[in-house]
Amino acid sequence: MSSSQKRTGSFSRTAKSLALAGVALLVLTACAEDHPARRGWLPGDRDTTSNTAELTDLWVNSWIAALVVGVVTWGLMLWCIVAYRRRKGETGYPRQLAYNIPLEIMYTMIPLVMVAVFFFYTDQVQRSVDEPHDNPDLTIEVYGKQWAWDWNYTYTADDGTEYEVHDTGVQAHLTGEEGVRDTLPTIYLPVDHEITFELKSRDVIHSFWVPAFLQKRDMVPGRTTYIYLTPQETGVFDGKCAELCGEYHSEMLFNVAVVEDDEFIEYLEGLDEGHLGDEYNRNPNLHDSAELTGGNG
Ligand SMILES: [Cu+2]
């Protein structure tokens, strides 16, 4: 064995053990119960709302499937590059192959099956997440407007008291200093209660997004779109508009405070009664929202 062959041998051994060690390290760290890798580095927590576990599983499993496909594809490519490399003394093109029917059928069918599987699971999760509440504890009608939000709360408390109150926000004022988050308008949600969000717009297309809830939905003038969820963990989360909607889109921010029931009722009692409806829309000639409900934004 020549010395160069020996060197190549020990190099490939070192590379192999390094790769193995890397994979082992990755697997071990990802095994830790609360490692972000287990959630595919998504924001929030698996149990933040009644929908986040399902959405997380769809995301993580899709990534695993995509990675398996990637590894097989990269492996085949590498194998071709190495096994069919130009060897000493070879000239011209290698033997050209075309019209291998079984092979062509295979690489048409496999992607079709993969797309069908992705479609099946995506559809399943989407149906489950978008399943309307028959009788939600709380309905919040959210109006997006350049560049803030109006919230109408309709809530029936456990003792039967009914609330129809509203709150209204103004856009954030991003100064570049710390502490702006504390000045943002805040939407309050009672933990462990079914909530239906009715999403509307007063002017242009906005999008209601709470990253930790893993859900985002367009708010389209003249239509109503919906989000159905049950918050399962108390805390304060970031909310924002996710549809470029004009000059101060980046300041169309809010906080989401998920609180215990008594704190929620205390908050509702501090709000003004009544409803800020379509009469404040900037496009009064649009169809009545009620005629055009539905759709997923
Ligand atoms: Cu917006």
User: pLDDT tens for residues 228-267?
Assistant: 999 999 999 999 999 999 999 999 999 999 999 999 999 9
All residues with CB under 5 Å from ion ligand 1: 206, 241, 245, 252
Show the CA angle centred on residue 213, arms to residues 275 and 192, nearest 5°: 70
Measured distance CA(49)–CA(257) in Å, rounded = 13
142 & 288 share domain:
yes
The rounded radius of gyration (Å) of the Cα atoms in the chain is 27
Average pLDDT estimate for 172-200: 93
Q: Which of 81, 97, 129 is the last residue of a domain?
A: 129
Confidence of residue 289 (pLDDT cuts 50, 70, 90): very low
CA of 204 from ligand 1 middle (Å) equals 8
Using one digit for the tens of pLDDT, what is the confidence trace for 127-155? 999 999 999 999 999 999 999 999 999 99
CA of 139 from ligand 1 middle (Å) equals 21
Measured distance CA(24)–CA(30) in Å, rounded = 10
CA of 161 from ligand 1 middle (Å) equals 34
Place of tokens 């509440």: 133
Domain count for the chain, please give it.
2
CA of 65 from ligand 1 middle (Å) equals 35
CA of 34 from ligand 1 middle (Å) equals 34
Residues with Cβ within 8 Å of residue 242, at least 6 apart in sequence: 207, 208, 209, 216
5 is a domain residue: no
CA of 133 from ligand 1 middle (Å) equals 26
CA of 247 from ligand 1 middle (Å) equals 10
54 is a domain residue: yes
111 & 202 share domain:
no
CA of 218 from ligand 1 middle (Å) equals 9
CATH number at residue 55: 1.10.287.90
Most confident of 6-20, 138-152, 276-290: 138-152
Measured distance CA(84)–CA(76) in Å, rounded = 12
CA of 200 from ligand 1 middle (Å) equals 11
CA of 182 from ligand 1 middle (Å) equals 20
Measured distance CA(46)–CA(39) in Å, rounded = 7
Per-residue pLDDT, 2: 52
208 is a domain residue: yes
Residue 74: domain span: 47-129
Q: Which of 129, 149, 164 is the last residue of a domain?
A: 129
Average pLDDT estimate for 180-188: 92
Using one digit for the tens of pLDDT, what is the confidence trace for 59-98? 999 999 999 999 999 999 999 999 988 888 888 887 888 8
CA of 103 from ligand 1 middle (Å) equals 50
Find out whether 204 and 25 touch, Cβ atoms under 8 Å: no
